[in-house]
Amino acid sequence: MTSTKTNPGNYFEDFKFGQVIVHPTPRTVSVGDVALYTSLYGTRFAVQSSDAFAKAIGYPQSPLDDLLTFHVVFGKTTPEISLNAIANLGYANCRFLKPVYPGDTLSSTSEVIGLKENSNGETGTVYVRSTGRNQNGEIVLDYVRWVMVRKRDKAAPAPEAIVPNLPPRVDPSELGAAVPPLNTSQYDYALAGSPYRWGDYEVGEKIAHVDGMTLEEAEHQIATRLYQNTAKVHFNQHTEAKGRFGKRIVYGGVVISLARALSFNGLNNAFHLAAINGGRHVSPCFAGDTVYAWSEVLEKVEVPGRTDLGALRTRLVAVKNNDCSDFPLKDADGKYADGVMLDLDTWVLLPR
């Protein structure tokens, strides 16, 4: 008697506009997760690394790295959203709304906010807004992503096409919600690793983050399981050997975290990732690739109501096997250059 109690994942026709999905397995995050996150990416932002530093400027203790929160919330959504996805097409309007501390329990829900069948009749794009909440039901994070999902049955009728209207960027008034009022006089720039504050950066400034990190299979698998992300392409060489690339694909979030950790060298005081305005995984990353990153300052704005910090809108680009001293992005014909893996549009906050 064969059971039907397993989750085969959702197909395009399983998603309905307005549907709200409760994702399984809430997760209490801990200093264990923090240590693993450090060991996997080598991140060095002082606020997240030192309770003493965080307390001095007004936090009750070090908050989790924003991307650790993101990956935990994201990981939960994979069994229902992207198990049958062909591609993770993009992110938008990702806002970090409350700090998360060790001991908090995170859970995720998603709402289907758009659906569009592709002309081939075999796949469609699903837009979801996913929301992470803590144990008190407070929203700590929300973001939109869209994925290309297979249809189970090519003959299934196409739903009405609805494509959400996404803002080009998170409004500056929405930034800073996850940062308490800072006692900036206690912010120690020597300990933080750089004298450069918000006011020292200029629009158009490009920063090659110098270092490169070579990724191993064990590393990205350990990271991705830490987030309870179950997407098969990251873990199963037995099937991926027969797949498109012949090998496992690194979870895109690992590339984001590596790029963000590398960005410390040059953006040392950009201690908080306040928003991801948009982003694309331009090309896949595999074990053995060496990840480099560079940033460009796109905008420099004050945060309404905050005199303690300011926001930089930065493009964060991750590139494989290229030290980024020439800031690779696109070719003359407008296509992404070879090796570019990630193009992420973010807001980061720095003390003023």
Q: Among residue numbers 159 through 198, which ones bind a copy of itself (CB under 8 A)? A: 190-194, 196
Is 200 an interacting residue with respect to a copy of itself (CB under 8 A)?
yes
Question: Is residue 226 near a copy of itself by the rule CB under 8 A?
Answer: yes
Name the one range near a copy of itself by CB under 8 A: 93-101, 102-110, 144-152, 276-284.
102-110
Q: Which residue in the set 19, 118, 265, 283 belongs to the binding site for a copy of itself (CB under 8 A)?
A: 265
Interface with a copy of itself in residues 136-155 (CB under 8 A) = none
How far apart CA 318 and CA 327 sit, in angstroms, is 10
Q: Which is nearer to a copy of itself, 239 or 307 (CB)?
A: 239
Nearer to a copy of itself, 25 or 307 (CB): 25
173 or 321: whose CB is closer to a copy of itself? 321
Binding segment for a copy of itself among 93-101, 145-153, 217-225, 307-315 (CB under 8 A)? 217-225
Among 150, 206, 280, 352, binds a copy of itself (CB under 8 A): 206
Nearest-approach distance from CB 157 to a copy of itself, in angstroms: 28
CB of 81 to a copy of itself, least distance (A): 14
Distance of closest approach, residue 116 Cβ to a copy of itself, in angstroms? 28
Supply the DSSP string of 177-233, one letter for each residue: TTSPPP-GGG--HHHHT----GGG--TT-EEE----EE--HHHHHHHHHHTT---GG
Which helix (H) or strand (E) segment is 21 a member of? strand 20-22
- Of the pair 99, 266, the CB lying nearest a copy of itself is at 266
- Please list the alpha-helical segments (H only) found in 241-289: 252-262
Question: Closer to a copy of itself at the Cβ: 173 or 237?
Answer: 237
Query: Which lies closer to a copy of itself via its Cβ, residue 45 or residue 127?
Result: 45
- Between CA 98 and CA 156 the distance in angstroms is 41
Site pattern 6..45 for a copy of itself (x: CB under 8 A): xxx-------------x-xxxxx-xxxxxxx-xxxxx-xx
Tell me the closest approach of the beta carbon of residue 121 to a copy of itself, in angstroms.
Answer: 26
Provide the 3-class DSSP secondary structure of residue 121. Answer: coil
Q: Which residues inside 38-67 make contact with a copy of itself, applying CB under 8 A?
A: 38-42, 44-46, 49-53, 62
Instruction: Return the axis-axis angle of helices 252-262 and 217-226, rounded to nearest 10°.
Output: 100
- Residues sharing a CB contact under 8 Å with residue 6, sequence separation 6 or more, in sequence order: none
Of 258, 295, 291, 283, nearest to 336 by C-alpha is 283
CA angle (54 as vertex; 49, 60 as ends), nearest 5: 120
97 near a copy of itself, judged by CB under 8 A = no
Phi, psi of 318 (to 5 degrees): -105, 135
Interface with a copy of itself in residues 277-306 (CB under 8 A)? 288, 290
Closer to a copy of itself by CB, 35 or 86: give it: 35
Closer by beta carbon to a copy of itself, 108 or else 125: 108
Picking from 53, 21, 6, the residue whose alpha carbon sits closest to that of residue 191 is 53
Phi, psi dihedrals of residue 156, rounded to the nearest 5°: -60, 140
Q: Which helix (H) or strand (E) holds 251?
A: none
Stretch that binds a copy of itself, among 158-166, 202-210, 249-257, 275-283 (CB under 8 A): 202-210
Q: What are the residues whose beta carbons fall under 8 Å from the beta carbon of 68, sequence distance 6 or more? A: 29, 33, 34, 37, 257
Count the neighbouring beta carbons within 10 Å of the beta carbon of residue 238. Answer: 7
Say how far apart CA 177 and CA 95 lie, in whole Å.
9
